[in-house]
Structure 1
Amino acid sequence: MTGRVGSYLLFGDAVDVWPVATLLAKHLPAETAITIVETRCRPAETVALPLESPFFRTLDIGATELAGAGAHFALGHVLDGFCGSGTRQVAAPSGDLPAIAGLPLHQVLHCVAERAGALDRFGELYEGFRFCARAAAEGRVALPEDAPQSPLAMLGPLVVVDRMALAGLLRDRFAGQRVESFDGEVAQLRRADGARVRSARLADGRLMEAEVFIDLRAPGGGMGEGEQMALPLLEALARSDIGIAADPLAGAMPIYSARAGAGCAAQPHALETPWLANLLRLGPASAALGPLFSADARMLLVQVEALVQCLPATSEMRVESRRFNRLHARTVERLYELIAAPLYLNRRAEEPWRALRAVEPPEGLALRIEQFRSRGRLPEFDGEVVDRQFWIDLLIGFGVLPARHDRRAGAFDPRQLDAALGTIRGQIDQALAAMPTQGQFMQRFGNA
């Protein structure tokens, strides 16, 4: 029988250590010591995170507190240039569109379009029903709870926030009293036997001991120490001259611009086993997936939730580390599938982009494309990071259109289906017209 761990030492940039320290402070017994060694060397970074993420729900952090930390809100991401120079697509988190007789709306619309001989306009017709994307494109914002019995219930608001401001909110509200904090930098991890860490030596010579060490430092050489997960599309992107630039503050929505000739992307990496012995590597120490959809910032929050599922840790830590490593691998897979989609499905004619389309996509993305292209259906995977409707909209937006629809749709009277689609479209148009602009929405928090 092994005892519980009594002390944790976290080290890395403040924007990474405080989200971890906050959830540790919430879930660990009061007698457990939590110490951080923080640096502030990363440049300012604004990210877009789901307002309804489990991380914010666990801490009961809502829109009001986040707005007080300087956040604003958006309903989607802009993908700029992935389908050709000058093209823009809105990828908006969304709950399921209303079903008709139990059938997903896109299945019914496909049936109606086929009967009308308008399948070549299916993507265009579908755009009118993308309530969240339309609201995002018009710069409108609301919360699902503003009108839960209306189309607003489908909204998936994003928090667009500076990571240092978020770290300050977490420190001041949740962890400042509980966590002992030092400014500094860990220069060396001193091992006792094998992989087990005994102490950390700071750059100023101080030694700090703990039972668990959590490393959140970006690896100096680009890739973390240890076996790596394969990320072929991201590796091909890094070898190309294509650049993905993130500009969360360009307008009402974060914009991700894809440009050939913009320079090589940073080297992606993802450790297979970030938790070894009593050393756990999180955030940039465990993986780097890039800026698209704020993947790296989202990964850290999901990792912290996974870590909480493995607490309180015992001094042996074998069971906890195995479980966390499985959850980490699943998180990387799901995020990789998400950010690989616009890269693999790009519709640009230039050679670097054609080369990306020739790279084998992640298995989960390939299955989604295959099943949706066949019958408009999607497989279900554990640990999804976006909902089903997001995938449906994204695939249709990139020209992955179903060859067939659910046969049950053909059993209904065409006039009934037309009427049902017209009713839904009317409700969407009405809700959209009544929504506030982003400036009007932010006035409720006292900052337009």
Structure 2
Amino acid sequence: MSALGEPIRDVVVAGGGIVGWSAAAALKRRLPWLGVTVFALPPPPDALADRIGPTLPSIHGFHGDLGLRDADAVVRSGSAFRLGTRFENWVADSPDYVHAYGEHGRPFGTASFHQHWVRAAKLGAAAPFDRHSPAAMLARAGRFARAADEPDAPLSGFEYGLHLDPPAYLAMIRAFALHCGVREHDGVLRSIRLRPDGFVEALELDGGEPLRADLFVDCTGPAARVRSALDDAWEDWRRWLPCDRILIADGPPAPEPAPLDRAVAVEAGWRWSADGLRRTSTGLVYGSAHWSDEQAARALGVREAAPVAIAAGTRPQPWLRNCVAVGDAATAIEPLEWTNLHLAHSAIDRLVAMLPDRDCAPVELAEYNRQCAAEAARVRDFAVLYYAASGRSEPFWRDAAAAEPPPTLLHTLTQFRERGRLPFHEEETFGRDSWLAVLLGQGVIPRRADPLIEVVPPAQSDAAMAGWRDALAQAVARAPTHAAFLQMLHRQVTR
């Protein structure tokens, strides 16, 4: 057993995919006295954080903590930019809408912008909500620019994610980690050796010395091959997220990659298309109770594609004793809204910030687990929102909408449907404007407007919103195309 207050010196990261190497790079870069070894187990097919290219804007913060410039991360790994996702056919008889990152409209008067929009929508005089988003307008036009520094500029107050080329990005983050001093170990995992107190003592390998460490970071995907040796507790989310199969079929790159993904609802799930610089990512997520694998393959337009089983849920205690599950090993969720790698990065940030001593005091691990659980629950709620608020009539969608939402989402929906108010939650992945974009895009319209809005006459609200749309349109017309911006960035980095 560890002596009280004895620091962690050696860490083994199990998993040789993007998540594992990202964890190792962050630990070694930010805590350089640690000895960090990656046990490079290949990621399994259901480790979506290692396979899915689109990311949330939070990836830039992760890169910044490592000391990686955005330009290097984009150019060296063949990434492209993404401003949001266009959702099509998610609500019966409703137009498509864009969930883009950052502000939607600017506040005026004494009420939030969306309250003015809600009043106009009830009067039948509202332009689509996403037409007030700088990122959405850029994305729809196929253009890209970084947000302006001046807060009053039309093209300010928005964020953007990346579209990674997973193999190239893995090579980059691995090379970076090795440069920082991370060690790599290959081999075949035979078993997990536990100490009498239940802590992990070592990874037993075929034909090699055991791998010992003070702390084990499990990045092996949903099977959690190390963490699962301690317990099998699991919180099942499948009653709310009914898709249990995924097909991924990447294709050649588009001539000019769009900074806007597509997520199209279909009879028994949804399919996506996202343009990367080196490949186009396509896939289909579906419920096997309503579609066979053959039907799904036909819907995606492929002949040979191996479906992967997924089971949405989370570990109530991702960190137990001296083993912490990260990424899909902690929380498994379909790639709707591209949260898989974000959850991994967020857990890695917490791991670095909250690293305990070798005794892994339960009070410290409890706070880590509390924060992870709160974040995972709201990511789940955001994904469930699409199913709960869909008006599609097919059996798959009727069954999904009939499930009572999780209590936290039900509270959000109840508050918003009454007067357009959003309750505060800790550890939110998606900001207020993202919730508004999806709620209103899915047709969730408040029953009443906030009384604060009455100090501004409807005509004045309409004029202010129209003026904002005009300012955005003019600014977007001056922005370069996404392809032109990428070419400019490549010239700057490689010259």
- Give me the TM-score of the superposition, normalised by structure 1: 0.88
Higher helix share: 1
1:249 to 275, 280, 293: 275
For the structure 1 residues 315 and 28, does the alpha-carbon distance in structure 2 shift closer, same or farther, using more than 3 Å as the test?
Answer: farther
- The one-letter code sitting in structure 1 at the alignment partner of 2:315 is L
* Kept after mapping to 2: 8 A contact 1:13/1:42: no
> 1:228 Cα shift?
1.4
1:173-212 matches, cutoff 5 A? 173-212=176-215
Counterparts of 1:239 and 1:185 in 2: how far apart (Å)? 28
For the structure 1 residues 57 and 97, does the alpha-carbon distance in structure 2 shift closer, same or farther, using more than 3 Å as the test?
Answer: farther
Counterparts of 1:24 and 1:432 in 2: how far apart (Å)? 40
* Kept after mapping to 1: 8 A contact 2:105/2:465: no
- Structure 2 residue aligned with 1:236: 242
1:240-294, CA deviations, whole angstroms, 9 ceiling, x for partnerless residues?
A: 9934444433899977756662648512231111211112222222221122122
The alignment partner of 1:48 has SS state of: coil
* Kept after mapping to 2: 8 A contact 1:112/1:414: yes
Counterparts of 2:70 and 2:245 in 1: how far apart (Å)? 40
- Structure 2 residue aligned with 1:358: 402
> 1:85 Cα shift?
10
Range with greater deviation from structure 2 (159-168 or 216-225)? 216-225
- Give me the TM-score of the superposition, normalised by structure 2: 0.80
For the structure 1 residues 363 and 232, does the alpha-carbon distance in structure 2 shift closer, same or farther, using more than 3 Å as the test?
Answer: farther
Range with greater deviation from structure 2 (300-309 or 198-207)? 198-207
Counterparts of 2:114 and 2:241 in 1: how far apart (Å)? 34
1:343-354 matches, cutoff 5 A? 343-354=387-398
* Kept after mapping to 2: 8 A contact 1:95/1:387: no
1:64 to 48, 71, 74: 71
For the structure 1 residues 76 and 196, does the alpha-carbon distance in structure 2 shift closer, same or farther, using more than 3 Å as the test?
Answer: same
The alignment partner of 1:152 has SS state of: coil
- Structure 2 residue aligned with 1:95: 103
> 1:45 and 2:51 equivalent?
yes
- Structure 2 residue aligned with 1:216: 219
Counterparts of 2:458 and 2:376 in 1: how far apart (Å)? 44
For the structure 1 residues 250 and 440, does the alpha-carbon distance in structure 2 shift closer, same or farther, using more than 3 Å as the test?
Answer: closer
Counterparts of 1:159 and 1:270 in 2: how far apart (Å)? 25
> 1:341 and 2:349 equivalent?
no
Range with greater deviation from structure 2 (419-428 or 53-62)? 53-62
Number of aligned residue pairs: 442
> 1:412 and 2:438 equivalent?
no
1:108-161, CA deviations, whole angstroms, 9 ceiling, x for partnerless residues?
A: 2333455xx42xx54x44343233223222222211147654222132211110
* Kept after mapping to 1: 8 A contact 2:55/2:162: yes
- Structure 2 residue aligned with 1:444: 488
> 1:190 Cα shift?
0.4
Range with greater deviation from structure 2 (99-108 or 170-179)? 170-179
> 1:221 Cα shift?
9.6
> 1:360 Cα shift?
1.7
For the structure 1 residues 239 and 49, does the alpha-carbon distance in structure 2 shift closer, same or farther, using more than 3 Å as the test?
Answer: closer
Identity percentage over the alignment? 24
- The one-letter code sitting in structure 1 at the alignment partner of 2:5 is T
* Kept after mapping to 2: 8 A contact 1:289/1:296: yes
* Kept after mapping to 2: 8 A contact 1:270/1:288: yes
* Kept after mapping to 2: 8 A contact 1:21/1:175: no
Q: What residue ranges of structure 1 are gaps of 5+ in the alignment? A: none
- Structure 2 residue aligned with 1:76: 84
The alignment partner of 2:156 has SS state of: helix
- Structure 2 residue aligned with 1:105: 113
> 1:359 Cα shift?
0.8
Counterparts of 1:262 and 1:291 in 2: how far apart (Å)? 20
- Structure 2 residue aligned with 1:261: 291
Counterparts of 2:94 and 2:416 in 1: how far apart (Å)? 27
Superposition CA RMSD, Å: 3.1
The alignment partner of 2:422 has SS state of: coil
> 1:213 Cα shift?
1.3
